[in-house]
Chains A and B, each alone.
Chain A
């Protein structure tokens, strides 16, 4: 890769792009949403949420809306607490399992490919068309086909989730690696660093914030694919429960599943935001 940076091109020594923003797929903005800080801000945000939910409850009561049209927040909350072990725990476990399996496989392959195209810069023109196709095509669309091949078990879903997460991890990591300031690489080389040392000591830490964002967005894509795939067929997981409860018009239970899915998604976001602050705080 250093040959790429230090090639006999007309050099532009001052254009040292930072790791944030830009790139072929710029999804980094999600990592920089402003958060509430301090007790006062957090309390007011929570208070507003309570007001909105309470207001919704009263509107539904006053307008005599039937539960099958729109379930009351209280009935959703009640269902969440009373039915959790019986109705929701098993599908949640199934979704979590397929999600993490897909994420691990996808991100491992994605990160490896990113390292590969960084070390062998010529390769990216062959790989990127497939990455673009994979990023832009909803992987849920593959589920019917994959089910014909691999049956109704976990396999087709894990494959789809890997295909949804891998390219996002790859594209962000590769961009992070590539954006490493050319002067920093030159600095390393001037101290006689090997390619491996450059990677370990300069490129990887420099790209870490982008890699974390790749994981975050990849995971969100992965959850989307997981739930979507379960809705298509197979009789497993939270997505399947959404279809099941809505077909029975059990809207309180439907709402409860929706809350669980949303919590899962927000959990992913919070986790990676935390990781980013902990290990890549120099970037912000």
Chain B
């Protein structure tokens, strides 16, 4: 396969400083993401996976090292090329679902791409809820709405920060299937941060395993289950085998460092 490199991360470190302490959240991280690839980042809490994602967004620049998007050095957010989805849906509660989806268009002063929005709403099963307020939607619907909001900008890269972390297990499975469906259709490049190893394996082409203090890339796992993937995949021996080995890594990195 000849694929273009979408995201190139070179020797990225991120140091947070407070009055009392210095935390090396990410240290010497180098990797790249290919066009249309689905990468999941897993690791124990505090391993810097969210920090890494924010470095990729251009919102929190790296302390040292560089991030290139399509060969261009990242120095600030790229509204037309990078979309972000957070753990909280972050739908503005005073706007209806449709008004929330229209918000980025308003900020960019661009006409709303009705066709794309319609299609995305259809896939997300949110048709008929355009005029509902976020308070009237379920957690899963809200999160699907926020994904629709991000995808309606047609970004090349989608950065997702534990987007399903706050949902219950069943909704989470549903959301995973929904995300795969959307991804297979749009072929976006996705970097997906999660603390659920099984979610990572289920979704990803590759899983980056990070270890904490300082946050480093400790291992890359290629996941080559055929697509489209079925939810029962998680009961297959090979899946469980990968799950176990990553789990040992994550556990080991926690206890090994002593805490």
Given the interface pairs A6-B60, A13-B50, the reply to whether A282 lies near B90 with Cβ below 8 Å is: no
Q: Is the CB of A183 within 8 A of B133?
A: no
Task: Tell me if B231 counts as interface (CB < 8 A to partner A).
Answer: no
Contact B107 A197 (CB under 8 A): yes
Residues of B contacting A13 in the complex (Cβ-Cβ under 8 angstroms) = 50, 86-87, 161
What is the CA–CA distance of A121 and B11 in the complex, to the nearest angstrom?
33
User: Is A186 positioned at the interface, with any CB of B under 8 Å from its CB?
Assistant: yes
Partner pick for A10 among B23, B77, B92, CB 8 A cutoff: B23
A234 contacts the other chain (CB 8 A): no
A163 to chain B, nearest CB (A): 32
Contacting pair B90 A190 (CB below 8 A): no
B16 touches A183 (CB 8 A): no
The answer to whether B18 has its CB under 8 Å from any CB of chain A is yes
Do B90 and A183 have beta carbons less than 8 Å apart?
yes
A191 at the interface (CB under 8 A from B): yes
Decide if A277 is an interface residue (CB 8 Å cutoff).
Answer: no
Select B135's contact among A205, A208, A282, beta carbons within 8 Å: A282
Q: State in angstroms the CA–CA spacing of A252 and B246 once bound together.
A: 83
Question: Are A192 and B108 closer than 8 Å at their CB atoms?
Answer: yes
- By the criterion CB–CB under 8 Å, are A282 and B50 in contact? no
Using C-beta atoms within 8 Å of the partner chain, give the interface range for chain B.
20 to 34
Whether B135 lies near A183 (C-beta < 8 A) is no
Would you list which residues of chain B between 50 and 92 have a CB under 8 Å from chain A?
50-51, 54, 57-60, 63, 77, 79, 82-84, 86-88, 90, 92
Selected contact of A9 from candidates B17, B84, B93, B161, CB within 8 Å: B17
A243 is an interface residue with CB less than 8 A from chain B: no
Chain B: minimal CB distance from A196 (Å): 11
Given A6-B60, A282-B133, A192 contacting B86 (CB threshold 8 A)? no
Of B51, B82, B107, B108, chain A has the most CB atoms within 10 Å of the CB of B107
Q: Which residues of B are in contact with A by a Cβ distance under 8 Å?
A: 15-18, 23, 50-51, 54, 57-60, 63, 77, 79, 82-84, 86-88, 90, 92-94, 103-104, 106-108, 133, 135, 153, 161
- 11 new A-B contacts, CB < 8 A, other than A6-B60, A190-B59, A191-B107, are A14-B87, A187-B84, A187-B90, A190-B79, A190-B82, A191-B153, A192-B79, A192-B107, A202-B92, A282-B135, A283-B93
